[in-house]
Amino acid sequence: MIRNPIKWPNGARCACAISFDIDADSLIHISRPKDGHDRLYPISMGRYGPTVAIPRILETYRKFGLKQSFFVPGWVVEQYPDTMEMILKDGHEIGHHGYLHEDPTAHGPAEQREWFERTLDSHKRVIGNTPKGYRAPVYNVNQSVIDLMIEHGFEYESSLMADDIPYLMKTAKGSLVELPVHWGTDDWPPFAHYDEIGYMMPVASPSQGLEGFWEEFEAQYEAGGFWLAIWHPFLTGRLARWRQVERWLEAVLQRGDIWFAPMHEIAAHVRAEAAKDPNAVRVERLPYYTKPVLF
């Protein structure tokens, strides 16, 4: 097995981050704009995240002394400011996740800028937060959004899948650290059952649904790599599932050689490592393509 060339702080063997996408009930409003406001079951399912799951998650983080990252649409920041304040008060990071969980690739550059900057305004105006990182709704980032991130001084992006470990993305306009995601560490496949937005996954039991995450972690731990969970409070924050997470956290933290950190801290470390040794961090150069390949 090829080991990760990035050296983690304080001799840690593996860098880890649990990132929560707090979509709340934005999903039903963006997917069903005409009548989503009166679909009470999906609204209530989404509201479970900021009202019930987030306090539970924050309690666990306090118990273990963890600081982690949350990605929140601007509309959700506006609807649930008290929840956002709880997150920031505990020292966690809140990143950019679109405004109403809109798909960036469905819009042209002008619309993308409008949504992107509207979200920045919501974060700053409502909770005084300046996001350092971005995750695209449904991972659908494109070159225009990359350019917006660089223009607004973002430190990292977390929607792409070109590696197992962090890497640098360089364009003519600047660079970003990519903290890569993967469906194997996303809780949507095992737990999402949401007909209104077109997802009808067979819901796994808590232990079966989370088993794959632990297997992914062990592989990264063996390789000295980077493990990133992409979870949603209304899915993995449910009581039985979160109980599984708590037990796992308690066990892995006892190893003593794992670095759990907010994603902006991991990104800053990766950039510092790249500055010390250019061979330590792989570079992807963007754009990949400038026109359709068939035309």
Domain borders along the chain are 9-285
Provide the Cα torsion 222, 226, 230, 233; round to 10°. 80
pTM of the model: 0.96
Question: What average pLDDT does range 145-168 have in this prediction?
Answer: 98
What is each CA distance from 8 to 92, 158, 192, in whole angstroms? 20, 19, 33
State the average pLDDT for the chain.
95
Query: What is the predicted pLDDT for the residue at 2?
Result: 65
Query: What is the predicted pLDDT for the residue at 46?
Result: 93
- Structure tokens of 220? 């990264």
Pick the CATH number of 9-285 from 3.30.70.100, 3.90.420.10, 1.10.645.10, 3.20.20.370: 3.20.20.370
Query: What is the predicted pLDDT for the residue at 245?
Result: 98
Query: What is the predicted pLDDT for the residue at 195?
Result: 81
